[in-house]
Amino acid sequence: MGISSISEFMLGIWAPLMLIHFLMGSCWAQEVPASFIFGDSLVDAGNNNYIVTLSKANYVPNGIDFGQPTGRYTNGRTIVDIIGQELGLAEFTPPYLAPTTRGSVVLKGVNYASGGGGILNQTGKIFGGRINLDAQLDNFANTRQDILSSIGSAETMDLFSRAIFSVTIGSNDFINNYLTPLVSVPEQKLISPETFVDTLISRYRLQLTRLFNFGARKIIVTNVGPIGCIPYERDTNPTAGDECVAFPNEITEMYNLRLRSLVVEELSTTLVGSQFVYADAYNIVSDLIQNPAAYGFEVATSACCYLSGKYGGLIPCGPPSKLCGDRSKYIFWDPYHPSDAANVIMAKRLMDGDDADVFPINIRRLAAQPST
């Protein structure tokens, strides 16, 4: 065998081996090792079970399709539960306050979300206890210190650079703050919607920057959905008839425009090394409500778990509540929250959707991005 033939022979062996090595390395780089979750009741996995609060979901019929009530404000999984499954995480991300969320468990991620929580610290005060975003970040700081002590600085920063961080918050700042009946009327007269939105964005900027400074790099920021269309707003504003309530949606759209600019244009540029993704829940939920049949839904306006109100929006879901016949046909589980069926569609659109749903890249592509 001549030198040329030997070279070709060796190349024939080594080229496939190098390709396999490259692909294996790429798969390793794309693995999502952990999910750290911040937010409100849309993504709470049970933190409110451990605090004194009026906002709880650890009772039937919540969790009816999960197997038991867990503190999730839906019949089954939250949107981040489903996204975690799509990302290949073996287990649901546990709540920070659960006694078992300690030791090596936290290396796979932690859920800090709290029902009633908001961007502003006064948000949700009508519930008593709740963990607002500043406090959630304080809790993450504790977890971060535990991880640093466990695996050291270099490995911690590597873990955080590959992990997915998601923040789903802001709805309560409107529903249970600025738009709260009776409580907020004087505030609405003193503070314009524009000023209130400015306050939210200013506070959120500091909070997202703090999260980045802790080591988060792949950060999903979910906007506020069309809250004027939820059963609660429909029933508390009957003059809107069968239409979504206009003002809550108008102020939410104003906020979402500012949030998109903050995330996509400002923070993505100023926080070097960050990989921010803007998740447009408003667009997705609006599409579901406007075109329910296209997604297999039959009821787009009323709660599946209901007790009082034309749309079942006046009393939270609980033991006295009645249930709809087929939960998979309802977009809304209760006065405020989507059903498991709706969460599945939203999660899949955020995982694999185009830039109308999630910008500049979807979550699957974000997960595959090399860490920085």
Active site residues: 41, 334, 337
- 277 contacts 364 by C-beta, under 8 angstroms: no
DSSP state of 343: H
Nearest 10 degrees: CA dihedral of 307, 310, 316, 322?
Answer: 30
Token pair belonging to 123: 């948000």
Phi-psi region of 31 (alpha: psi -120 to 50; beta: other; left: phi over 0): beta
CB 162 within 8 A of CB 31: yes
Residue 372: how many other CB atoms lie within 10 Å: 11
User: What is the secondary structure of 252-310 as a DSSP string?
Assistant: HHHHHHHHHIIIIIIIHHHSTT-EEEEE-HHHHHHHHHHSGGGGT-SEEEEESEESSST
Q: Is the distance from CB of 52 to CB of 130 less than 8 angstroms?
A: no
Q: Are 365 and 291 in contact (CB under 8 A)?
A: no
Q: What is the CA radius of gyration of the chain?
A: 22
Determine the 3-state secondary structure of 166 from DSSP.
Answer: strand
Instruction: Single out the residue of 198, 70, 361 nearest to residue 369, CA to CA.
Output: 361
At 241, list the tokens.
């008839």
Q: Which residues contact 127 (CB under 8 A, 6 or more apart)?
A: 53, 54, 55, 115, 116, 176
Helix (H) / strand (E) element for 330: namely strand 330-332
What residues are paired with 220 via a beta bridge? 166, 277
